[in-house]
Chain A
Amino acid sequence: MDNLIGVYTIWYRDVLRFWYDKARMFSALLFPIFFLAIFGSGLQRSIGMMAGGVDFIQFMYPGIIAISVLMGSFMSGVSIVWDREYGFLKEVLVAPISRVSVAVGRTLGSATVATIQGIMILVLAPFVKVSLSVGMVLALLPLMFLLAASMGSLGILLASRIKSTEAFQAIMQMLMFPMMFLSGVFFPMQDLPAWMSFIVKINPASYGVAAIRQVVLGTPPESPFSIYLFGHAVTIWENIMIMAAFGVIMTILAMWSFGRQE
């Protein structure tokens, strides 16, 4: 019970902070919209129609949803490092709640915030001529949350080990950009050079992008947009399983690492 209250309180603070931080809310929207507008408009004509009668903006749009969730979820780690820097982490660590509930509350909090950021991108669907049904939105919510939670726990794991803000930001950027650009957001998985294809396949975010795209564009598993592992097209449920497995491993490691520190 104590731990549940702890998780809730940590979660509540994250959401509250996001709510009061209008600048962060705005900038979280801005970046994905830039991608959509600049890459979309710039490459739309030269690329033309893609498989299944989808144009480039429509192809990219689900990936942009995933990117905004991804960026939001990385905040979980960043905010732990900030909390350490600004001292608030001490208030949290000395409170009568377990380290595990701190880590879990943090993961859920940033996943909630990241999902809200994803929802804000969903509102753009009519502008890119993608029609979303209520059913699709309901399917996307848990997908976005899962992607955010599994990526967020990676951030928390790193934050529990890396103490300086500068080092953390450097490492985050080193991780975030490849994860964003090599996740199949901007190009289909077909005909990639072998090294690139390999990186996309070991990038856990790719499976989130693929799952969200399968829902938004309604593509069948055997589509050129799917990820092929050993000749097998990964289905939406398999995507979910891979993300969940990654998330569970990261969360366990994060809880363990967080629980150990002084």
Chain B
Amino acid sequence: MSEHIIEVKNLVKKYGQLTAVDDISFNVNQGEIFGFLGPNGAGKTTTINILCTLARPTSGQATLNGFDVVRQQNQVRHSIGLVFQDSSLDDRLTGMHNLRFHAMVYHVPASEREKRIEHVLKMVDLWDKRNKFVRTYSGGMKRRLELARGLLHYPKVLFLDEPTLGLDPQTRNHIWEYVLELQKREGTTVFLTTHYMDEAEKATRIAIIDRGKLVAMDTPLKLKRMVGKDIITVRTDDNTGAAEAIRSRYQTEVRHDGDHLAFAVENGEEFLPGFIKESGLEITSISLRRPTLEDVFLKLTGREIREEEVGDSIKEHMRSRGGRMPH
């Protein structure tokens, strides 16, 4: 067996005329947080669906935990935990029932069942609410319950498909604390899709996917380096003199930006302390802006990742929730 927990080779998925996933290959290492970044409709969810056996690839191969996702579906299913974009809880039953159901279908031994359920529920702070019906839970509580459920059978790989979409910042942070703790303590591999940049930053490695194709894959830091240098913005008592001094000393382009000066350097974080000490300028304010993954995506695809796309997807999300008929 190889050290890659997930291996994907020349994966293609077509829906009629539409090619949702267009010949992508990648590997995921054991224990890493692997991020899939891209706009809606880029093929992120389709890829996850193939990896978790919910969809069959049109061509190509994928293995997870050494098992083929087409021919060894049951073994793959035993190896994974999922937190979907949309709730997949039974809201007519209690939190406890949902977890018991999950424990039963995933063959958690009866002797361990209650202990594990208590453990995961306490981890996501839902132990007190365990006997309440899920339909009375808030959106954040539901997501936490799903996370708890996804962990119940100690999966090798935890798939998080837009795990914090539509949640408030506090709940998002909470969920991330659990995920990071888990990844550290249990060595669980986390496969994440998101279009929140700050979330993607938490990944060990990121694959950027656009229109079904993989356009880049590396650590967040290296991806950002690819775009270019860090931007230093500085304000001094004498901007004109300072601009001249910086130009001659560091051989760099300096731009006037209102009452600030802006220039680009490599490794801005290491550059700053020396610059402040040695430049001899009367600095009144200084800031460092590093390229974001947003800039990376823009550079690679020529398009913005968020803007209306994120806005739309959240609206879509709310609509699909709110528009449902009660049963």
Contacts and interface: CB of A to CB of B under 8 A. Distances in A.
Interface in B202-250: none
B104 interface: yes
A178 to B, nearest CB: 24
Contacts of A83: 90
Mostly, the B contact residues are loop
Contact of B105 (A6, A85, A90): A6
B89 interface: yes
A2 B90 contact: no
A5 interface: yes
A86 B55 contact: no
Given A5-B107, A97-B105, A90 B74 contact: no
Nearest to B52: A94
B324 A85 contact: yes
Nearest to B50: A262
Interface string B288-327: 0000000000000000000000000000000000001101
A2 B93 contact: no
B110 to A, nearest CB: 11
What range describes how many residues of A lie at the interface? 20 to 34
Contact of A90 (B88, B92, B93, B97): B88
Interface in A74-92: 82-83, 85-92
Interface stretch (B18-26, B79-87, B185-193, B265-273): B79-87
Nearest to B55: A262
Nearest to A262: B55
Interface in B94-133: 97, 101-102, 104-107, 133
Nearest to A169: B325
Interface string A4-38: 01101100110011001100000000000000000
Contact of B92 (A6, A9, A20): A20
B68 interface: no
A105 to B, nearest CB: 10
Interface in B20-68: 52-56
Residue of A9, A96, A262 with highest tally of chain B CB at under 10 A: A96
B172 interface: no
B77 interface: yes
Contact of A88 (B75, B90, B107): B90
Given A16-B97, A87-B86, A91-B102, A2 B54 contact: no
A89 B87 CA distance: 10
B225 to A, nearest CB: 38
B91 interface: yes
A165 interface: yes
B55 A88 contact: no
A9 B53 contact: no
Given A5-B107, A16-B97, A96-B78, A91 B88 contact: yes
A87 B105 contact: no
A124 interface: no
A51 interface: no
20 contacts: A8-B104, A9-B105, A13-B90, A13-B93, A16-B97, A17-B93, A20-B92, A86-B324, A87-B84, A87-B89, A88-B90, A89-B88, A91-B88, A92-B105, A93-B54, A94-B82, A95-B77, A95-B106, A96-B74, A98-B74
Interface of B: 52-56, 74-75, 77-78, 80, 82, 84, 86-93, 97, 101-102, 104-107, 133, 149, 324-325, 327
Given A2-B107, A12-B101, A21-B92, 18 more contacts: A5-B105, A9-B101, A16-B93, A16-B97, A20-B93, A20-B133, A83-B90, A88-B90, A89-B88, A90-B82, A90-B88, A91-B89, A91-B149, A94-B52, A94-B54, A95-B77, A96-B75, A262-B56
